[in-house]
Structure 1
Amino acid sequence: MSGSVFGKNIKMSTWGESHGKALGVVVDGFPAGMELDISDIQKFLDRRKPGTSPATTPRKEDDAVDILSGVFEGKTTGTPISLIVKNTSQRSQDYSEIAQYYRPGHADFGFDEKYGFRDYRGGGRSSGRETIGRVAAGAICSKLLNEMGIKVMAFTRAIGDVEIDEKKFDEKNILLTPTAMPDAEADKRAMELISKCKEEMDSVGGVVECRVTGLPAGVGEPVFDKLDAVIAHAVMSIGAVKAVEIGDGTRVSKYHGSENNDEFVMSDSSVEKRTNHAGGILGGISDGSEIVIRAYFKPTPSIAKTQNTVNKSGENIQVSIHGRHDPVVVPRAVVVVESMCALCTLDLLMSNMLSKAENIIGFYKK
């Protein structure tokens, strides 16, 4: 299967299936010499693992990571970093009957048409557990970014029609609330909505927002590898994401140029912007402002409510999906979005080192 590798300078290759023996990632191109411990990666994986709150699937997995290569005496070696997480709570029998029909909202039909065969246990490669590799890779990239003073922070902006109030934004709540909302009051209302959906055997969607601060101006390539284009590609590749916005996103289509343009001003001998409608990116290149990305997630397609579908014999049937499923994918997807944005940011920062001859001369000149 092609399409399992992402990145240019830092290449991430994820592998494994939802109900296979294990999942993992190989990160190639990461520089040598950064201190790296399992705990640096585990704390990221703990944010996406299942069974942690009523807002997630009851499937219990420790998602304990092990480093197989690329780290020696606590530091990265510059060779491929291979990470593995073993599956310990598979219940493949929960999925045996779906081998004969196509679940509404899932990739089942597409897989059969493309390959003539599919791993029906939890969706195989299209399962949300594939993101384990992304998060592990993102944890490594985030650590290096942090050492450069660049912060990547994602959170739940909305679940269904419940949206946070910026005036009640408290960053510490992102890790404390079950919804990963920075607004504690919105979290309570969102949990009530999630509870109602579970009672009705239904699910709900939502929005994840990611902000990158401390990124200098000039990062990103002006044509195909625009910073926003690479980020959009990365975030859209996350399962269940149906739209991505940068800055004011779709709202700019209703603006006049005089409203949308971010005016430049001098501040303490540096160039800044009065506003940030562009979300920190102009012409595909960072402008020094905060990067703002929003990912829109569809409701979890696996629901117990009766739905219409078709079986492999070409018959119209009705089904209800059993098993352990998230009533909303958004809370666990927050760290996935954060990780993909971190990988893109670091990858393009590395490309940017080669954009000026003086950078190369300054590094190698004796």
Structure 2
Amino acid sequence: MSHNSFGKLFRVTTFGESHGPAIGCVIDGCPPGLEITAEEIRAELVRRATGRSRHTSQRREKDEVQILSGMFEGRTTGTPIALLIENTDARPKDYTNIANRFRPGHADYTYWKKYGFRDYRGGGRSSARETTMRVAAGALARKYLRESFGIDIYGWLAQLGPIRTDEQFDRAEIEQNPFFCPDAGRVSDLETYMDELRKSGDSVGARISAVAMNVPAGLGEPVYGKLDADLAHAMMGINAAKGVEIGAGFDCVAQMGTEHRDEITRDGFLS
């Protein structure tokens, strides 16, 4: 596996398996002088944690992050930052029944075909547990971008199955419910839908939206390194992600050019 790293200026390499002893990451390129604590990182980890709602995996991890290097007196030093989280609720024996079976919709078969061997304990590296370290590294990146450039990044659940959730948008509501739903009036619909889905023994997909405010123009590099390409690369690396739309996305197919383009005037962009 040679693609366990992402980024160039701020490069993140993750390691560890879902039901192994620990997971971790190394961040190379974080600027020096950033003040951040393990508690701040954990605050972001709590937001992604499972076991907080009956609608998520019931695995309960403490996600207590250890900062092993790259910090001194509460500030980043500019050297590689190593973060480690012990798996305290790993249950590898729960997966012995699929040691010789491939689960549909998972990476079991493709890992086996590629390597001739696989870690069947919850999917190993292909488990969503790996995203824990993306969140940990992202906590540093998010704080640096906010403090240094005023960039504000947030996201929400836009659709779950057939239920659209952001037609009545309230950013303050996003953190007030387990679905990260921006419409308080839709939360009960989501609860009912998920309860019925669980009773039927089935699952369903979802769509999220994310926004970055105050991003300066000129980021990215020409052609293969443009910002849209890097964003899509990062998003498609997330487990089970099957599509990425940027801006109007595929809605632009039905839009006229005069509607879709973002014309600039002396007063700025029309949008």
Shared fold, TM over 0.5: yes
What residue identity is the alignment partner of 2:218?
G
Q: 2:12 corresponds to which residue?
A: 12
Q: 1:158 corresponds to which residue?
A: 159
Helix, strand or coil for the counterpart of 2:55? coil
Helix, strand or coil for the counterpart of 1:112? helix
Give the CA deviation at 1:218.
1.7
Give the CA deviation at 1:255.
2.2
Helix, strand or coil for the counterpart of 1:241? coil
What residue identity is the alignment partner of 1:88?
T
CA distance in 2, matches of 1:125, 1:14: 10
CA distance in 2, matches of 1:171, 1:259: 26
Query: 1:71-117: CA deviations, max 9, x gaps?
Result: 11000000100001110111212110111111111111111111010
Give the CA deviation at 1:243.
0.2
Q: 2:142 corresponds to which residue?
A: 142
CA distance in 2, matches of 1:207, 1:273: 28
Give the CA deviation at 1:23.
0.4
Identity across matched positions, percent: 47
Give the CA deviation at 1:191.
1.6
Query: 1:147-190: CA deviations, max 9, x gaps?
Result: 02111111111111111244x32212211111011111122211
Give the CA deviation at 1:35.
0.7
Q: 2:260 corresponds to which residue?
A: 260
Give the CA deviation at 1:30.
0.8
Q: 1:73 corresponds to which residue?
A: 73
Change (3 A) 1:115 1:165: closer
Give the CA deviation at 1:124.
0.2
Helix, strand or coil for the counterpart of 1:130? helix
Helix, strand or coil for the counterpart of 1:20? coil
Query: 1:215-238: CA deviations, max 9, x gaps?
Result: 122222121110000000000000
Q: 1:280 corresponds to which residue?
A: none
Matched, 1:214 2:210: no
Matched, 1:62 2:62: yes
What residue identity is the alignment partner of 1:85?
I
Q: Structure 2: which 5+ residue stretches go unaligned? A: none
CA distance in 1, matches of 2:50, 2:269: 41
Helix, strand or coil for the counterpart of 2:223? coil
CA distance in 1, matches of 2:21, 2:28: 23
CA distance in 1, matches of 2:59, 2:132: 15
Give the CA deviation at 1:12.
0.2
Aligned length: 270
Give the CA deviation at 1:21.
0.3
Helix, strand or coil for the counterpart of 2:139? helix
Q: 1:239 corresponds to which residue?
A: 239
Query: 1:287-332: CA deviations, max 9, x gaps?
Result: xxxxxxxxxxxxxxxxxxxxxxxxxxxxxxxxxxxxxxxxxxxxxx
Question: Which is further off, 133-142 or 248-257?
Answer: 248-257
Instruction: Kindly report which structure 2 residues correspond to 1:310-325, keeping only aligned pairs within 5 A, or say none.
Output: none
Q: Are 2:5 and 2:12, in contact at CA under 8 Å, matched by a contact in 1?
A: yes
Q: 1:52 corresponds to which residue?
A: 52
Q: Are 2:166 and 2:181, in contact at CA under 8 Å, matched by a contact in 1?
A: no
Helix, strand or coil for the counterpart of 1:69? coil
What residue identity is the alignment partner of 1:234?
A
Instruction: Kindly report which structure 2 residues correspond to 1:185-334, keeping only aligned pairs within 5 A, or say none.
Output: 185-267=185-267, 272-275=268-271
TM-score by length of 1: 0.72
Q: 1:183 corresponds to which residue?
A: 183
Give the CA deviation at 1:254.
2.1
Q: Are 1:194 and 1:204, in contact at CA under 8 Å, matched by a contact in 2?
A: no
CA distance in 1, matches of 2:164, 2:186: 7
Question: Which is further off, 45-54 or 253-262?
Answer: 253-262
Helix, strand or coil for the counterpart of 1:244? coil
Helix, strand or coil for the counterpart of 1:41? helix
What residue identity is the alignment partner of 2:16?
G
Give the CA deviation at 1:265.
2.2
Give the CA deviation at 1:208.
0.8
Query: 1:249-304: CA deviations, max 9, x gaps?
Result: 0111222222221221232xxxx2223xxxxxxxxxxxxxxxxxxxxxxxxxxxxx
CA distance in 1, matches of 2:64, 2:182: 27
Question: Which is further off, 175-184 or 227-236?
Answer: 175-184
Helix, strand or coil for the counterpart of 1:24? strand
Change (3 A) 1:45 1:251: same
Query: 1:110-140: CA deviations, max 9, x gaps?
Result: 1111101000000000000000110001000
